[in-house]
Chain A
Amino acid sequence: MNEVFTKSMARNIFYGGGVFFILLFLALTFDTVQQLPKLDNRAALTEQVAHGKALWEENNCIGCHTLLGEGAYFAPELGNVYQRYGNSTAFIKAFLMTRPKEGVPGRRSMPQFNFTAEEREAIAEFLKYSSQINTAGWPPTIQG
């Protein structure tokens, strides 16, 4: 680079640009948080749903599945699993209950977590709540 463009100019772009974009990011974040109540389905956020989220985390479900497209790519997307099986929590609960302990020979299988009926209900309700977040039309198909 030529002598017209000096190191101190480069340094000023770094500090100036960095600070400016941090402030812009904070401003956008502030606006986002203001708008969230319209989008994030918080009305459905019951204690049961919160319990479901805790179970989701304490069993590391994200280690195989995606939720709203984020997570691991080993098992199906669950952000719309509620809609995929007939807008119902029945399938989710039954699926959790019937996983074989020793897996399925040669195939991927979800572990048997031995959840109680109440826990299965909470997880299903959490997935129902997640499925009703406004995700701008994602995923493109029901298959996730």
Chain B
Amino acid sequence: MQYQSQMVAKPYFIAAIGLFILQILFGLIMGLQYVMGDFLFPEIPFNVARMVHTNALIIWLLMGFMGAAYYLVPEESETELFSPRLALITFWVFLGAAGLTVLGYLLVPYSTLAEITGNSILPTMGREFLEQPTITKIGIVIVALAFLFNIGMTVLKGRKTAITLVLLIGLLGLAVLFLFSFYNPDNLVLDKYFWWWVVHLWVEGGWELILGSILAFVLIKVTGVDREVIEKWLYIIIAMALISGIIGTGHHYFWIGVPEYWQWWGSIFSALEPLPFLMMTLFAFNMVKNRRRNHPNKAAVMWALGTTVLAFFGAGVWGFMHTLAPVNYYTHGSQLTAAHGHLAFFGAYAMIVLTIISYAMPLLRGRKAANSALSQKLEIWSFLLMSSSMVLITLLLTTAGVKQIMLQRMGEHPLPFMQVQEQLAIYFWLREGSGMLFLIGLIIYVASFFVGNSEPEAEVAA
């Protein structure tokens, strides 16, 4: 760590891990409700558990992105952060808003939450992933503005690099696109059309830029490869992300009441969406292969490589599987969609946040370069356990999805939804078991922060 103000990243990373734990616990509740329908009913109905699961994910990823920005921008810009104080204030505002929102979900019926937060004045609630009360959304906008101001001013007064520029464009895109969450017309088709401008253009637009720039930063640090080479890769990867991903939004426009030409635009461009992820994998492995030095933080290198591989499979391969319109006609909104969602989010976004945490946290906690060998060993075990159990979850949901499609959407006598769900119970049980494995991985991950702290730093083998 070269600049004192990078320290503000620490609370963001800690809060991110806390919300990650919350997300997984509610994921396990939902998984159980899939097979024991009355579990926690009516206290925590499925929809409430799901809101906590998905919203905690979004908030912890945003916390992670912000922490990453506060960590890497001063170092890249070679200057102290514009205002560390503002960064800490926005942290507490953000965490407070997130905490109150989760309590609101859990303590009162959702319709009551809508009523007491004045949803009827500016109705934005009750749409998938955008369930937050309108005042929470306004809070998110204020936090995002303060954050962008802080980061923007830091970039302006210091050295400008491709990494900070790309990060800034990604963050700006994230903030601007979120404004579409305030647009909620009565017309369902228009509502859905622009809802995707937040959801798709985040994950296959702005967020990919953020992902790319965090990855590039970590790779420069751990491989010592020349910045020119890494930044060239970064530009070409994110160029492909935008070229394929923007029109690729069309793969969500097949069946929601818009013109059918979207079946062509969406199929063709989204078929290209695996490319940036493939290039990211090649990029990371090439840089590590051509490294100029061995970094003692092996765990961080592992996360960096792992995120590109699982992002390629989860977002790339599993996305491609059902992105062509004639296939999507049968798969749309099935367990196959859930399979893709899990591996894509974990591989691309959860793991990139865990990558920067793995790289930065030892430095933020006073180490020179890396944690002790023992601590890293635990972290690598948690990496292996979480990654493989998420792959398992994906394979099980994929199998369940294929069976669901065959029973419910094909053949002479398609079966009703609930009858099909009963036939999928075995996969859902196994998925819950895999989720427990994931939880064990997560516990080991958290333990890695507390174990081996008194031991000396790991060193590079001669």
A residues neighboring B (CB under 8 Å): 1, 5-7, 10-11, 13-14, 17-18, 21-22, 24-25, 28-29, 31-33, 35-36, 39-42, 45, 49-50, 53-54, 56-64, 66-77, 101-109, 111, 113, 129-130, 133-144
Contacts and interface: CB of A to CB of B under 8 A. Distances in A.
Given A10-B235, A105-B38, A39 B126 contact: no
Interface string B338-350: 1000000000000
Contacts of A5: 232
Interface string B24-36: 0000001001101
B162 A11 contact: yes
B21 to A, nearest CB: 22
Contacts of A73: 333-335, 337-338
B338 A54 contact: no
B46 A103 contact: no
A60 B128 CA distance: 8
Contact of B254 (A21, A136, A143): A136
Interface string B154-186: 000000001000000000000000000000101
B20 to A, nearest CB: 21
Interface string B114-130: 11000110010111100
Interface in B310-352: 329-330, 332-335, 337-338
Nearest to B194: A29
B189 A76 contact: no
A133 B189 contact: yes
B417 A69 contact: no
A2 B232 CA distance: 11
Interface of B: 30, 33-34, 36-38, 41-42, 45-48, 50-51, 110-111, 114-115, 119-120, 123, 125-128, 131, 162, 184, 186-190, 192-193, 228-229, 231-233, 235-236, 238-239, 242-243, 246-247, 249-250, 252-260, 262-263, 265, 329-330, 332-335, 337-338, 408-410, 414-418, 420-421
A14 B236 contact: yes
A109 B41 contact: yes
B189 A74 contact: no
B125 A58 contact: yes
B189 A36 contact: yes
A21 B232 contact: no
The 6 A-B pairs with the shortest beta carbon distances in the complex, nearest first, are A63-B47, A57-B126, A69-B333, A108-B37, A138-B255, A10-B235
A136 B263 contact: yes
Contacts of B186: 45, 49-50, 53
Contacts of A102: 41-42
B247 A39 contact: no
B242 A62 contact: no
20 contacts: A1-B233, A14-B238, A22-B246, A28-B250, A35-B258, A36-B190, A41-B257, A49-B186, A53-B186, A60-B48, A61-B47, A68-B188, A73-B334, A76-B417, A108-B33, A109-B37, A133-B257, A138-B254, A138-B329, A140-B330
A134 B258 CA distance: 8
A57 B125 contact: yes
B27 to A, nearest CB: 13
